[in-house]
Structure 1
Amino acid sequence: MLTRHSPSTGSGSPDIWGFYEEDTGSIQYLVADPQTRKGVLIDVVQNFDPAEARTSFESADEIVEFAEREKIEIVRILDTHPHADHLMASAYLRKRLSVPNAIGRKVLEIADLWRDLYHLPDAFKPASDFDDLFEDGANFEIGDLQARVILSPGHTLGSITYVIGDAAFVHDTLMYPDMGSSRADFPGGDAGMLWESIQTILSLPPETRLFVGHDYGTDEREEIQWEATVAEHRRDNSHLRDGITKDEFVRTRNERDETLSLPDRMLHALQINLRAGKLPPAEADGHVYLKIPVNRL
């Protein structure tokens, strides 16, 4: 698994490792306080083969083993939103490491939306499957590091950003500058809200390191990238650099989204991720089944 280290820049600044999950183009993060060696995991993937509907935890185990080698004690499992393109490993890591897991409080509204789409009126209990449901502006500590939560809707209605020292984990809002921004056409998404969320992110100090949720490379850039500063995004981001208006962005984003197919894991993923990565309960025959809505999206 491609791994890259972004070292601490000084007091109050985290050490960060990104781990690239090639099947879904996802970046998973280990964030640690260099002084206390306390750390968190952000947006770790549960591996999934959609052709065989088979799950496994190779990626999560590899990252945990990396943290153990680095002598980093994981104290929280964090997710930025209920992902549509990969399964989350939150429940697995919560059990393996005996630490709390968290996501944004608006996951409760996302669960309401998907109960209707799946016609599963009694499914999904995020308040039980996550230990913390963060409000906008919530604060917590990672060792001596200070962390806060920014509500960042647009990609989903409940996406959140984690600002930890001089770093921000901006999930599926921004892409690497040459790729612009993330789609906003999933149920509950909105390009106008995404613009406003990104403006809040880009109002952070210029030297803030921004870490995105996905990269796929480009025709001009084969190397996978996931880190750029606020200043670099304001100067170079193809969708949002300084001088581009909200109307221009919304038009560009909506036109782009109309050309995109749904992720091949989406209808599998939401009914698992709204359970923090747990599979649905086994049925009478002892096996687990997923429910796929037909002609709903």
Structure 2
Amino acid sequence: MSSPTPQDLEPLIHPLFDSTTSTFTYLVACPSTLHAVVIDSVLDFDPATSRISTTTADSLLSLIRSHNYKTVKILETHVHADHLTASRYLQTQLASNDAEEEEKKNGGIKPEICIGKRIVQVQERFAERYGIPREEWDGVFDRVFEDDEEFRVGDLKVKVKHLPGHTPDHVGYMVGSNIFCGDSLFDPEIGSARCDFPGGNAHALYNSVQTLFSLPAQYRIYTGHDYPSADSRSPQPYTTVADQKLLNKHLKEGTTKDQFVNWRQERDSGLAEPKLLHQALQVNVRAGRMPRDGMLKVPLRMPGGWKL
């Protein structure tokens, strides 16, 4: 019997759910070579104390090491506004400047931190907003992907899909019969992501969802978050294309673009900003690096007409 090709080989997938930010991180590995990627990692942050910790990321590292995986890439679907990425921390923990120690840690591989090519326009926008020096964001991602670019993880083939709408830089990663769609879609009972961040666009998100819906019915869509109501169910990392088309509360098959856009825009106009918005954006456009001065900026909202 011949060995499976990269086109039909299916990955090993480990979902990890962070209940504090309701975020799914995925560890995706090639079963034949044990090469792996991490998708949308989480760095713990307490806004009350401005303290960063690595408990969640360390659990991921323990899982990687327990399976003897060799992490070749740390992937981001987009610049997240609701959690800090652990990408830089993971890279430093998985790779060392000491060759002998590096061989022990990750098979001599320094994983690349990667994202879609439109990251630059997002970095420029938020660097200006928060006064981030160019040298702290320019070129901090090791690799930026072209639309529909393909790369290998061991014997697996991964294809990058541009899925804008939630943010303009948003991408998904297709591996075998699975696509990791970030914040493009959520569990059918949750629906879709907001589109009111700078560069977000409900029209574009509708089109991106149609791209997902064009996949074979049995393909699995792995989502970036889940928000089940209390005790209703456990967080679900994926649903099938068929389930999404049939059940998605915002975008099930037959929903017109005008219906979705009108509903999404009305809904977004009443949403509060994410709790970690300002901290997350400033760290994530730096690919998980911290500001050199150790300071993050949070804008003040002053009562109308009131001045100091």
**TM-score, normalised with respect to structure 2:** 0.87
Match of 1:285 in 2: none
Question: How far apart are residue 96 of structure 1 and its match?
Answer: 1.6
Match of 2:297 in 1: 291
Provide the rounded CA distance (Å) in 2 between the counterparts of 1:172 and 1:180. Answer: 10
1:51 aligns with 2:48: yes
In the alignment, which of 81, 88, 100 is matched to residue 84 of structure 1? 81
1:13 aligns with 2:24: no
In the alignment, which of 280, 295, 306 is matched to residue 269 of structure 1? 280
Larger Rg: 2
Question: How far apart are residue 294 of structure 1 and its match?
Answer: 3.2
Question: How far apart are residue 100 of structure 1 and its match?
Answer: 1.0
Give the secondary-structure state (helix, strand or coil) at the position aligned to 2:144.
Answer: strand
1:112 aligns with 2:109: no
Question: How far apart are residue 221 of structure 1 and its match?
Answer: 2.6
Match of 1:41 in 2: 38
Q: Deviations over 1:236-268 (max 9, x none)?
A: 111111111011111121122122110110011
Question: How far apart are residue 56 of structure 1 and its match?
Answer: 1.4
Kept in 1: contact 2:89–2:288 (CA 8 A) = yes
Opposite residue 296 of structure 2, the aligned amino acid is L
Matches within 5 A, 1:162-201: 162-201=173-212
Kept in 2: contact 1:76–1:101 (CA 8 A) = yes
Question: How far apart are residue 71 of structure 1 and its match?
Answer: 2.1
Kept in 2: contact 1:115–1:123 (CA 8 A) = no
Opposite residue 26 of structure 1, the aligned amino acid is T
Match of 2:113 in 1: 101
Provide the rounded CA distance (Å) in 2 between the counterparts of 1:26 and 1:105. Answer: 23
Question: How far apart are residue 121 of structure 1 and its match?
Answer: 5.8
How many residues are treated as equivalent by the alignment? 281
Question: How far apart are residue 93 of structure 1 and its match?
Answer: 1.3
Provide the rounded CA distance (Å) in 1 between the counterparts of 2:182 and 2:70. Answer: 23
Match of 1:156 in 2: 167
Kept in 1: contact 2:72–2:111 (CA 8 A) = yes
1:221 aligns with 2:218: no
For structure 2, the 5+ residue unaligned runs are: 1-6, 95-109, 303-308
Provide the rounded CA distance (Å) in 1 between the counterparts of 2:142 and 2:272. Answer: 33
Moved >4 Å (runs of 4+): none
Provide the rounded CA distance (Å) in 1 between the counterparts of 2:50 and 2:113. Answer: 25
- Label 1:88 to 1:74 Cα distance change in 2 as closer, same or farther (>3 A): same
Provide the rounded CA distance (Å) in 2 between the counterparts of 1:123 and 1:271. Answer: 13
Q: Deviations over 1:17-49 (max 9, x none)?
A: 110101100000000111211111000101100
Give the secondary-structure state (helix, strand or coil) at the position aligned to 1:176.
Answer: coil
Cα RMSD for the two superposed structures: 1.7
Kept in 2: contact 1:150–1:163 (CA 8 A) = yes
Question: How far apart are residue 219 of structure 1 and its match?
Answer: 5.8
Q: Percent identity?
A: 40
Q: Deviations over 1:144-191 (max 9, x none)?
A: 110010111111110100011111000011010111111111111111
Give the secondary-structure state (helix, strand or coil) at the position aligned to 1:59.
Answer: helix
Give the secondary-structure state (helix, strand or coil) at the position aligned to 2:160.
Answer: strand
The range that moved more, 229-238 or 218-227, is 218-227
Question: How far apart are residue 116 of structure 1 and its match?
Answer: 2.5
For structure 1, the 5+ residue unaligned runs are: 1-9, 283-287
Provide the rounded CA distance (Å) in 2 between the counterparts of 1:206 and 1:124. Answer: 43
**TM-score, normalised with respect to structure 1:** 0.90
Kept in 2: contact 1:26–1:215 (CA 8 A) = yes
Question: How far apart are residue 124 of structure 1 and its match?
Answer: 4.3
Give the secondary-structure state (helix, strand or coil) at the position aligned to 2:289.
Answer: coil
